[in-house]
Structure 1
């Protein structure tokens, strides 16, 4: 690169990412590692050439309108871009990239953990042993729902959905999926395609969400769609909290129509929905789907690859 662009890292990314970034950029770190309000984002845009935001930094149309012309690119440290008004950013002439591919397996692992934990009553079991309340056993004690051989419905068969399907095959699950378009026969690996969500839902002993959050998918799971699931089904969400009407899911969990849920993302983050905490049949994690050392390094390096290409006058691989 002919010059050293100034790069702002608004969150604490991996040490390996910071070290590599400092080789070619003048790096500005947010040492507090807190969420930057709009005022800080706008202020920093006059001081840097590039930013590497996470989903916690919100680039709404109002924020984008106030960004300084110095800012040239947002190299997102995420796959999802629902925190960015892409149309407004394009109109402003700011390039936007993301980090696909590299976090698919880590996120699929969390989906598998949540599915198994919800199915086998991990929250109740852990509490029982941890509190010293385990003083009884019988054949009817802590009976859960078996994953092996069950039907899994996958909503969104992109990179993460396909990675999850590969892992589900290891449990001999019968895979059904709904996607905007059908995969090739080679990529389906025998999975059953549904061209509507309504067709998929009645088949899903387990339902796992892997689609992006868009205006069209907001509250995709609601009272009406949840009612189409088989009684006793289990819901897993490692995609985005906006996909689920949380009040409707809570009602379905309380009624037993949905027997359990595994949740890694919520409408309000951080914090989640405290109403879920009252339910023993909910296994929750704090949005850590991609939180492995290998994946965090890979995400940071993918974002830097995009920045390097941009500042060398090339088209970034993941330009949106």
Structure 2
């Protein structure tokens, strides 16, 4: 009998065909609507493998309903949507899709930094609305990027890729991290410092840490108050790392100059969210890894992890400690 697999969102057909060769596949066939929790509750009872996204909450209650589940393959780098401890307790493998989205996410992060600093969205809307009547010396003036100081909070793979882009703009780069990275300091020409000092000295601050209990509200009103009045905050990591209400107040009262946000604590973000009302914020719908090539690679890697586990072999990107009998 073929293993049963459920996919919680439509992925490219040629990738689904890979699984169809050896598995019985069902899929939530709605590209823009997350699968309701109650439907996933029913589906998970009989399946052997689950391929899911960050939009699905795979909690202890859901995992307990899984009778045959061997693998939860998350199509993302982050996995805070999955109760890893519960999965491990029940002998279920959990995997993610790191590495393949590093460069694409770094591209988006630096692009968001540029769009915020130079007010590109605001300027485009200004033109399209018919407000542009003449050239004026200080019209829609923004911030210089070249030669500025960039502070990176969390120097992982994406942070390192961001450094390489910043160096092309002759930026000075500071970083704070849980552990100091001497080799990267030498190779990339960057400087380690405390979070407090990074916030005090940086013109642009990029949040790049994973979301954990320790990083929840890592950037709150106290941290925002340390930043320069002409500084910009960029978050392409996870919502919840930055306190959104504190950020709104800092932006509204011009305690900092601007912000670029690709992620929110609750997604999709409500249209009445305060941050969406401010002119000095560029907001995006969580598109950090959204290139055709990268999303295809992510789907392929998630499927590879899934199929490897269903063959009772250890997947490349295993996140929890599961014992294997081959």
TM-score of the superposed pair, with normalisation by structure 2 = 0.93
* Distance (Å, rounded) in 2 between the aligned partners of 1:15 and 1:209: 35
Q: CA deviation at 1:186?
A: 4.4
Distance in 1, Cα, partners of 2:188 & 2:310: 40
In structure 1, runs of 5+ residues without a counterpart are none
Describe the superposition over 1:97-147 as per-residue Cα deviations: whole angstroms up to 9, x where unpaired.
000000111111111111001100123201111111100222111111011
Q: What RMSD in Å do the two structures reach over aligned CA positions?
A: 1.5
TM-score, L = length of structure 1: 0.94
Task: Select which of 89, 92, 116 maps to 1:91.
Answer: 89
**In the alignment, structure 1 residue 219 sits paired with structure 2 residue 217:** yes
- After superposition, residues 1-320 of structure 1 pair within 5 angstroms as 4-33=2-31, 34-65=33-64, 67-186=65-184, 188-194=187-193, 196-272=194-270, 274-320=273-319
The answer to whether the 8 Å contact 1:123/1:281 transfers is no
- With over 3 angstroms needed to count, the CA separation of the structure-2 counterparts of 1:85 and 1:126, relative to structure 1, is same
What secondary structure, in the 3-state scheme, does the structure 1 residue paired with 2:21 have?
Answer: helix
1:313 Cα deviation from its structure 2 partner: 2.5
Contact 1:177–1:191 (CA<8 Å) still a contact in 2? yes
Contact 2:70 2:310 in 1 (8 A): no
Q: Whole-Å Cα distance in 1 between the matches of residues 17 and 198 of structure 2?
A: 46
Indicate how the Cα distance of structure 1 residues 186 and 250 shifts in structure 2: closer, same or farther if over 3 A, else same.
closer
User: How big is the shift at 1:277?
Assistant: 2.0
| 1:227 aligned counterpart, secondary structure | helix
Counterpart Cα distance in 2 of 1:186 and 1:206: 20
Contact 1:13–1:296 (8 Å) recurs in 2: no
Cα separation, partners in 2 of 1:4 and 1:170, compared to 1, 3 Å: farther
Shift of 1:276: 1.6
Mapped partners of 2:284, 2:231: distance in 1: 20
User: Secondary structure of the equivalent of 2:198?
Assistant: helix
The unaligned stretches of length 5 or more in structure 2 are 320-326
Q: What SS does structure 2 have at the residue aligned with 1:46?
A: coil
| Aligned residue pairs, count | 316
Give the Å deviation of 1:223.
Answer: 0.4
Matched residue SS, 1:24: coil
Instruction: Sort the Cα spacing of 1:248 and 1:100 in 2 relative to 1 into closer, same or farther, 3 A.
Output: same
- Secondary structure of 1:242's partner? coil
Assess, with a 3 A threshold, how the Cα gap between structure 1 residues 166 and 87 changes in structure 2: closer, same or farther. Answer: same
Tell me if the contact between 1:14 and 1:296 (Cα under 8 Å) persists in the aligned partners: no
Distance (Å, rounded) in 1 between the aligned partners of 2:303 and 2:215? 30
User: Contact 1:174–1:191 (CA<8 Å) still a contact in 2?
Assistant: yes
Could you say what secondary structure the match of 1:176 adopts?
strand
| C-alpha distance in structure 1 between counterparts of 2:310 and 2:276, whole Å | 47
Distance in 1 of aligned mates of 2:22 and 2:169: 46
